[in-house]
Amino acid sequence: MSVSIYYTCTREHVLTDSEQEAISTIVQQYNEDFEGKDRAESFTVYEFDASSQTEIFAGSTKLTMTDQFETLLNDLFYWLKCLTDIRRKVDGGEWHVHLDDSDAVWDEQLGWTMPEG
């Protein structure tokens, strides 16, 4: 059994070239720096036909199922930080980030976090 983070952003206009460039740079850097790349999937962004969509960004990343709960949490918070950096580069939009059935919470200062309790 695995757990995944899912993420989407919708808005009326497609990503600008500078937004797309920034996202690509962030994703590449986080994937390169990910300490768990030998045991887990990298951050994935879906390909889609942007000309007919209001969905401008979407993807999912499967977290490694491990007996080490701390490892799972570290991976989760690492990818939430990646999503925080991406969101801060995209002008506007409606975001939805969730870990299977649990929605992440956006905090302007902290970025994406998981709800307590």
Q: From CA 33, how far away is CA 28, in angstroms rounded?
A: 9
Amino acid 50: pLDDT: 60
Amino acid 49: pLDDT: 65
* Total count of domains within the chain: 1
Q: Which domain holds residue 12?
A: 3-113
How many other C-beta atoms are found inside a 10 Å radius of the C-beta of residue 110? 11
CATH number at residue 67: 3.30.70
Is it the case that residue 98 has pLDDT exceeding 70?
yes
Amino acid 103: pLDDT: 96
Amino acid 51: pLDDT: 62
**Tokens, residue 11:** 């808005």
pLDDT digits (tens, 9 = 90+) for 32-68: 999 988 888 899 999 876 665 688 999 999 988 777 8
Crossing angle of helices 17-33 and 69-87, rounded to 10°: 160
Is it the case that residue 1 has pLDDT exceeding 80?
no
Q: From CA 3, how far away is CA 69, in angstroms rounded?
A: 12
